[in-house]
Copies of this chain bind each other. A is one copy, B any other.
Amino acid sequence: MSEPEPPASPVTNGSPAAEIGSLPLGSPIGIVEVAAASGFSPATVSRALRGLPGVSASTRVAVEKAAATLGYFPSPSASALITGRTNTFGIVAPWVSRWFFSAVIDGAQEVFGAAGYDLLLYPVATPSDPRGGYVINSRAIGKRVDGLLALNVPLMDSSLHSLQTLHIPVVTVGTAVQGLSGVLVDNEQVGRAATRHLLALGHRRIAFFGDDDGSHTDGFTVATDRARGFELEMRDAGLEPDPQLFQVSGFSIDGGEAALHRVFSQPGVAPPTAIFAVSDEVAMGAIYAARSRGLSVPGDLSIIGVDGHDLSYLFDLSTVAQPVKDQGRIAARLLLEQVTGPGPRPPSVVSVGTELIRRGTTGPLGVAR
């Protein structure tokens, strides 16, 4: 976008060379060829093509014309080698194929693409990794990208520090990391909002499906924050959450299914009348499992999720929606600012709002339909 884009180069091929412009597509075209064709020096060509000042208008036009004719495109490797900038951002994420992550990537790519940046995708180990954190090779990363977007990745201290020392800007999405810019939702408020909704419907026996086994004390606090909001809201209502109604589900559909079966199979434990699921995918699994047990949703059981998943309306799922694609856009802009801006700026944390969407999977207590 920001770079001059040569056309699909309708090079006069095959026929005898009329002039320098008719090089076959296969032959390498460097800045010296453009210089020769335009009659200027490589330095001037470089300046002209990058829109730098100190080039006369006529020269710029001539250079651009020559470059377009030859189908010239500067070598990213060469310019990265000398400028130290790669025009590429990296994005590290535990999954690409989960809705939340792909939606964030989508939003980020939109902004990066418009700014002329490429996007490099780095996989990282899943959070179920026993190490409980993520180590990235900062020197490797640093030489490939101008900045990094970390999606729900609780980078371990060492990775963080080395990244900072190398002056690679990092912006997080979904997790707050001390000293880094980030885009976040207030997950405690999310937990409170969902719980408040269920309480208002008359529910008292509410289960939490999430991932609060405490193994993620390193920064990946999404689930625990939501759980805390749940507990606080319950206590504010004068209720003490039943520990037996906390179920570890991870963030997956399978996890939601399994959790539901578990919570309805505890001998001597009264089942819940409502479930607050840590994500829409967990909620979907729970709905599926509930129906497979012959339970009516919301007649016998109300279920609410979190995310505003693209497909949530198909399940008529009540949810606390967050602007996921926007988070990608915002994070991308934060990263661009850090790279484009003059000096290193203090980390800024952007908190995005959420919205309770009341749909059909939550209903008043005791109103079997």
- Residues of A223-273 whose CB lies within 8 A of B: 253
Asked if B314 and A75 sit within 8 Å, CB to CB, the answer is no
- Residues of A162-180 whose CB lies within 8 A of B: 162, 165-167
Q: Chain B residues near A110 (CB, 8 Å)? A: 123
- Residues of A288-314 whose CB lies within 8 A of B: 288, 310-311, 313-314
Say yes or no for A337: interface residue by CB 8 A criterion. Answer: no
Size bin of chain A's contact surface: 35 or more
Q: Contacts A97-B103, A121-B121, A314-B284: A139 and B81 contacting too (C-beta < 8 A)?
A: no
Q: Chain B residues near A106 (CB, 8 Å)? A: 95-97
Q: How far is the CA of A73 from the CA of B141 in the complex (A)?
A: 10
Identical copies in the complex: 2
Q: Chain B residues near A86 (CB, 8 Å)? A: 77
Q: How far is the CA of A118 from the CA of B106 in the complex (A)?
A: 19
The stretch among A4-12, A32-40, A56-64, A347-355 that forms the contact with chain B is A4-12
Q: Which residue of B lies closest to A140 (CB)?
A: B73
Our pick among B5, B24, B76, B167 for the contact of A137 (Cβ within 8 Å) is B5
Q: Chain B residues near A356 (CB, 8 Å)? A: none
Query: Which positions in A face B, CB cutoff 8 Å?
Result: 5-6, 8-10, 24-26, 29, 71-73, 75-78, 80-81, 86, 88, 95-97, 99, 102-103, 105-106, 109-110, 113, 118-123, 135, 137-140, 143-144, 156, 158-159, 161-162, 165-167, 253, 284-285, 287-288, 310-311, 313-315, 325
